[in-house]
Amino acid sequence: MQTVKMVISGAVNAGKTEFIRSISEIEVVSTERRATDDTRMIKKETTVAMDFGRIAIGPDLVLHLFGTPGQKRFDFMWEILSEGMLGLVILVDSTRPETFRETNRIIDFFISYRDTAYVIAANKQDRPNAWSPEELRLALRQPPHIKVLPCVASDRESVKNVLLELLYVIQERSEE
Amino acid sequence: MALVGNIRDFGLSDFLYLVDRGDKTGGLYLSHGQETALLFFERGKLVMAVRRPEDQQPDLLVRLGLLTENQLARARASLAARGNGATLTEVILAENLAPREQLQGALQSFSEEAVYGLFGWPEGEFRFEQNQRPDPAAPTIPSPISVDHLIMEGSRRIDELGRIKDRIPSTDLVVRFLDQPGVRIKGIKLSAEEWRVIARINGRDTLAEIAQKTNLKEFDVCRIVYGFLTAGLVEVVKKPVPMPLARGGPAEVPRVKRSLVNRIINRIKGM
């Protein structure tokens, strides 16, 4: 059985758990713990280890989805999770510009280690005052060739679209 | 839809960059304690900036000595007669009530000073109302001004290490130009120190090395590069490690088979 891995990252409360939950075929294995630091202000429980989802591609192939912990003190996990990954989805809470700097730090971290295929998912586009994907591209100073996609992490079709767009990026870099 | 946030988290220069590169039109409302400010942009350029609500009123032109009371009354009457679409500034120019250069110079300086003062705010709520325009009778700048210059000047006034460190965490980073910076640099007035730094940017030297070569303090080089960075002229990147010694630098990702990617695509499409 071959397994391939995609990593879903983003700042605290960007919607990583929900994103994986919307598409995973298994109940998402999530090690939610009561938040013990400043994340408590944002949500009562937050992911301190990681989320894990799974999609069977065929009898011999499985796609694993790993959500990274959002807090800075779990940075060490990111490198471990990113080993051997096929691609990366960076989720951004489009309604909270205070997380954009942290999002940039996460992007820098991942792309400085590997020539990673990644897309940015502008989550919570269904909320009032959500910054549009193009506004997010400018705010995050992403070049035009990086896809910044509208996303609602609770909507399966929206999550599918983000994963497909990432796969098209990976497809372009793949070999025959 | 409004863009809301706090300049503590998303700096004013970052917002001006977004307005410029996004060709935004709208009104930016800022507040910090008892202080307020209002900036209007037309297709990414500044048309008016005021720190007090009364400065949006046409009598600012009298207070700035650009028009007499009588001239202003005549301009307002003409504006009312013209109806939709015209602005007070257009009327003043059309009727030669004030020379264009004088109007431009005075209103530009007034707006620039209003904006520069905002760079000193450590925080402040902002709300950007897209496609909102000033009142037709507001004293707008005849030729809207580029925000690149505002970003550079505003960055010169930032001396907080913390804010600079946010964008430039280390002096071991290499500075390099973004594509075609020349076009943008043309619109920016650089100081002698800034020219010294910009002349040393070669995509190989780190900030620390530039400081050595220019005999400037590392903090001053960081502050200057912060301005270039915020204006979107340069980027800072990690220094490439020579390949044979590569450890910890960007690693090559093994190429995956297209057939495998296609299988995943088909599976997800079918979900």
| ipTM of this complex | 0.87
Query: Distance, in angstroms, between A78 CA and closest chain B CA?
Result: 14
Residue in B122, B87, B96, B113 with CA at minimum distance from that of residue B12:
B122
Q: Which residues of B touch A138 (CB under 8 A)?
A: 17-18, 21-22
* pLDDT values of chain A reduced to their tens digit, one per residue, 176 residues: 788 999 999 998 999 999 999 999 877 666 555 555 555 555 555 555 567 889 999 999 999 999 987 666 666 777 777 788 999 999 999 999 999 989 988 998 888 767 889 999 999 999 998 999 999 999 998 999 999 999 999 999 999 999 999 999 999 998 87
Residues of chain B with pLDDT under 70: 159-162, 179-188, 240-254
Give A 37-96 residues with CB within 8 A of chain B: 55-58, 61, 63, 86
Q: What is the pLDDT of residue B268?
A: 94
> Cα separation of B115 and B17, whole Å?
14
> Cα separation of B1 and B34, whole Å?
26
Q: Which residues of B touch A63 (CB under 8 A)?
A: 264, 267
Q: What is the CATH number of the domain that holds A54?
A: 3.40.50.300
Six-digit token string for B118: 């905002």
Cβ–Cβ below 8 Å for A97 and B17: no
> Cα separation of A2 and B71, whole Å?
81
- A160 in contact with chain B, both atoms CB, cutoff 8 A: yes
Q: What is the pLDDT of residue A50?
A: 67
Residue in A24, A49, A54 with CA at minimum distance from that of residue A159:
A24
Alpha-carbon torsion (B2, B5, B6, B12), positive or negative: negative
Per-residue pLDDT reduced to its tens digit, B102-153:
999 999 999 999 998 898 888 999 999 999 999 999 999 999 999 988 888 8
Query: Which of A129, A134, A171 is facing B22, going by the closest CB pair?
Result: A134
Query: Distance, in angstroms, between B185 CA and closest chain A CA?
Result: 18
Beta strands in chain B (DSSP E): 3-6, 26-32, 35-42, 45-50, 125-130, 145-146, 174-177, 234-237
CATH code for residues B161-242: 1.10.10.10
Q: Which residues of B touch A139 (CB under 8 A)?
A: 10, 14, 18
* pTM (global) more than 0.80: no
Cβ–Cβ below 8 Å for A135 and B267: no
Which of A111, A135, A160 is the best substitution to test chain B (most B C-beta atoms within 10 A)?
A135
Query: Which of B9, B249, B265 is facing A164, going by the closest CB pair?
Result: B265
Residue of A nearest to B2 (CA): A129
Per-residue pLDDT reduced to its tens digit, A39-63:
555 555 555 556 788 999 999 999 9
Domain that holds residue A88: 2-173
- A100 in contact with chain B, both atoms CB, cutoff 8 A: yes
Domain residue ranges of chain B, discontinuous segments joined by +: 3-154, 161-242
Query: Which of A61, A163, A173 is facing B255, going by the closest CB pair?
Result: A173
Per-residue pLDDT reduced to its tens digit, A91-110:
999 999 999 989 988 998 88
Residue in A121, A159, A122, A164 with CA at minimum distance from that of residue A23:
A159
Query: Which of B18, B251, B265 is facing A114, going by the closest CB pair?
Result: B251
Query: Distance, in angstroms, between B160 CA and closest chain A CA?
Result: 17
Query: Distance, in angstroms, between A172 CA and closest chain B CA?
Result: 8
Q: What is the pLDDT of residue B247?
A: 47
Q: Which residues of A touch B249 (CB under 8 A)?
A: 112
DSSP A113-169: HB---EEEEEE-TTSTTPPPHHHHHHHTT--TTS-EEE--TT-HHHHHHHHHHHHHH
Which of A23, A101, A148 is the best substitution to test chain B (most B C-beta atoms within 10 A)?
A101
Six-digit token string for B48: 């008016």
Q: How many distinct structural domains can be found in chain A?
A: 1
